[in-house]
Amino acid sequence: MFSCTSDDDVVSPGHAGCLCHRPEIQFLTNRINVDLSRRGFVAGMAASVASLGLVPGRASAQPAPVGPSRAILFTNFRLFDGKSVALRDGLRLLVEGNRITAVAEGNPAAPAGAQVIDCGGRVIMPGLIDAHWHTMFAAISLPNLLSGAIGPIYLAAAAEAERTLMRGFTTVRDLGGPVFAFKQAIDEGLVSGPRIYPSGAMITTTGGHADMRPFSDLPRSPGGPLSALEQTGGGAIADSADEVRLRVREQLMQGASQIKLVGGGGVSSPRSPLDMSTFSEAQLRAGVETAADWNTFVTVHAYAPTTIQRAIAAGAKCIEHAHLMDDATAGLMADKGVWLSIQPFLTEDDQLPLSGPSRVSLLQVLAGTDNAYKLARKHKIKTAFGSDLLFSAALAPRQGTMLTHLTRWYSNAEILTMATATNGELLSLSGPRNPYPGKLGVIEDGALADLLLVDGNPVEDISLIAKPDKSLLIIMKDGKIYKDTRIRP
């Protein structure tokens, strides 16, 4: 079940784990476990939440809004638009519905009854985007995750999704997990959280990263029963090109915006060392071609040069991690226009305490981080920011801190651009599979209305992003204000 840090019965920010003491939550957990499948989660959660009187968004600075919002005119602010290095002054910003309809000097006409927000000279910037997040796995321990009890997983994810939004991350690209129904719950207003670009199950081979099956599940028979991991939608095992096609189609059928194939080993799976490769080039190409048939793309989990090169040869448009890449591999990525989605892991503080083979892999990643970023800069690789924090409610709040790690290689303005406009460009690769058509990561006419009001200048002081409770006074997603802690006269 949940870890708990308080004996209170009242839900408060940062203490959502306290919910586990409440009998109605235990009832809800049991009900989800017994009655709900993954695909029936949204309807069941709606009924359960309504019957128990639990209001989504209660832990926010203000309740999650419901229904259409009136127009909002922002005045007296400085603007970081996601692309320009310098802040812009003397502007007014009009939000109507879920769109930014005007960013202009002077006085854009506001509809009758519009709310006017005087920003007091503070900075408005786009909502942050995390290009490598695991919505369902970020805040729950691995033992609890592997227990197979879906109720605690969904409840922990709901609490963490709200905290993610309150950290200013209005959009995440989910790189593996049974998130489709949960995304729907957020989109329908049952849960407060960021926009989610879902990949669905991580597709891997037998023995690859994300194959967390116990040895008792072996040997695997083609066409045999699915493992517990596969039944929950956390992972999918594929050991042939035809199985890859099948698993890719299953994720796209459920609403995946992009596909994640596991090309090599990983840190959190102790039986898959980083230097190993899983899929053959032909198998990877089968996944890439199937995704292309749906007019979207494949991103490949890969650390080692051989694995990365194989993914590029198969047509992958993005590589996740790549901490062990060499100069030749970086040059190839740049030549082919392949994206790099990498995480600035600098110390063991960014991970849970590890031992055995997992710690060996982590130390390899930490040792390679500096070189990987230097190569990305040298070869001008299109680089996205992601945090990839896993299995800990204590680590997940480091999401903004991870962003500040980038100061070793980038200016503050470059960092902010990477986490807004650049990440938004990566999301747009999903084409017609984009679940939120429109521009993200920028503040301009016609863009989706995701924005932050920062108490201070993040272009000068990037550490403000790591202190969202104090620094972020307004958080808007999709034209709705989820937090407003301005001091009013």
148 — pLDDT class (breaks 50, 70, 90): low
Q: Concatenate the DSSP letters of all residues of 229-296 into one string.
A: HHHHTSEEE--SHHHHHHHHHHHHHHT-SSEEEE-B--SS-TTS-TT-B-S-HHHHHHHHHHHHHTT-
d(CA 174, CA 180): 10
- pLDDT for the residue 231: 78
Q: Chain-wide mean pLDDT for the chain?
A: 86
Which of the given ranges, 109-118, 300-309, 392-401, has the highest pLDDT on average? 300-309
CA torsion through residues 13, 16, 19, 24, sign: positive
Report whether 362 contacts 354 (CB < 8 A): yes
Q: Is the pLDDT of residue 436 over 70?
A: yes
Average pLDDT of the residues in 101-109: 84
Which segment of 22-31, 227-236, 345-354 scores lowest on mean pLDDT? 22-31
Q: Concatenate the DSSP letters of all residues of 8-61 into one string.
A: -SS--TT-GGGGGGSHHHHHHHHHHHHH--STTHHHHHHHHHHHHTPPTTTTSS
Residue 54 exposure: Cα atoms within 13 Å on the Cβ side = 26
- Cα dihedral 329/330/333/335 (nearest 10): -100
Coil, strand or helix: which one is 361? Answer: helix
Question: What pTM, to 2 d.p., does this model score?
Answer: 0.88
Q: Is the pLDDT of residue 45 over 70?
A: no
Say what angle helices 305-313 and 327-336 make with each other, to 10 degrees.
Answer: 20
Q: Residue with structure tokens 């989610």?
A: 196
Task: Enumerate long-range contacts of 186-189, CB under 8 Å, 24 or more apart.
Answer: 186/161, 187/435, 188/42, 188/46, 189/56, 189/64, 189/66
Express each pLDDT in 368-387 by its tens digit: 999 999 999 999 999 999 99
Q: Concatenate the DSSP letters of all residues of 411-443 into one string.
A: -HHHHHHIIIIIHHHHHGGGGGG-SS-S--S--
User: Angle at the Cα of 196 (from 195 to 202), degrees rounded to 5?
Assistant: 170
- pLDDT for the residue 403: 97
Report whether 395 contacts 365 (CB < 8 A): no
- pLDDT for the residue 44: 47
Q: Is the pLDDT of residue 15 over 80?
A: no
- Terminal-to-terminal C-alpha distance of the chain: 44
Q: Is the pLDDT of residue 420 over 60?
A: yes
Express each pLDDT in 176-227 by its tens digit: 999 999 999 999 999 999 999 999 999 999 999 988 887 888 888 777 778 7
Q: Residue with structure tokens 């990987």?
A: 372
Q: Is the pLDDT of residue 13 over 60?
A: no
More confident residue, 27 or 329: 329
Report whether 251 contacts 259 (CB < 8 A): yes
Q: Is the pLDDT of residue 48 over 80?
A: no
User: Angle at the Cα of 234 (from 233 to 240), degrees rounded to 5?
Assistant: 80
Q: Is the pLDDT of residue 51 over 50?
A: no
| Structure tokens given for 302 | 């890969």
d(CA 286, CA 268): 26
Say what angle helices 23-35 and 41-52 make with each other, to 10 degrees.
Answer: 160
70 — pLDDT class (breaks 50, 70, 90): confident
Q: Concatenate the DSSP letters of all residues of 123-139 into one string.
A: EEEEPEEEEEE-TTTTT
d(CA 449, CA 101): 9
d(CA 372, CA 35): 47
Percent of all residues in the chain with a pLDDT value above 90, rounded to a whole number: 70
Q: Is the pLDDT of residue 30 over 70?
A: no
489 — pLDDT class (breaks 50, 70, 90): low
More confident residue, 214 or 20: 214
Q: Find the length of the chain.
A: 489
Q: Is the pLDDT of residue 304 over 60?
A: yes
| Structure tokens given for 160 | 């963490």
Q: Which domains does the chain possess?
A: 72-127+441-484 (2.30.40.10), 129-433 (3.20.20.140)
Could you tell me how far CA 148 lies from the centroid of its own chain? 22
- pLDDT for the residue 413: 98
Say what angle helices 23-35 and 150-166 make with each other, to 10 degrees.
Answer: 120
| Structure tokens given for 94 | 């009009």
Average pLDDT of the residues in 430-449: 97
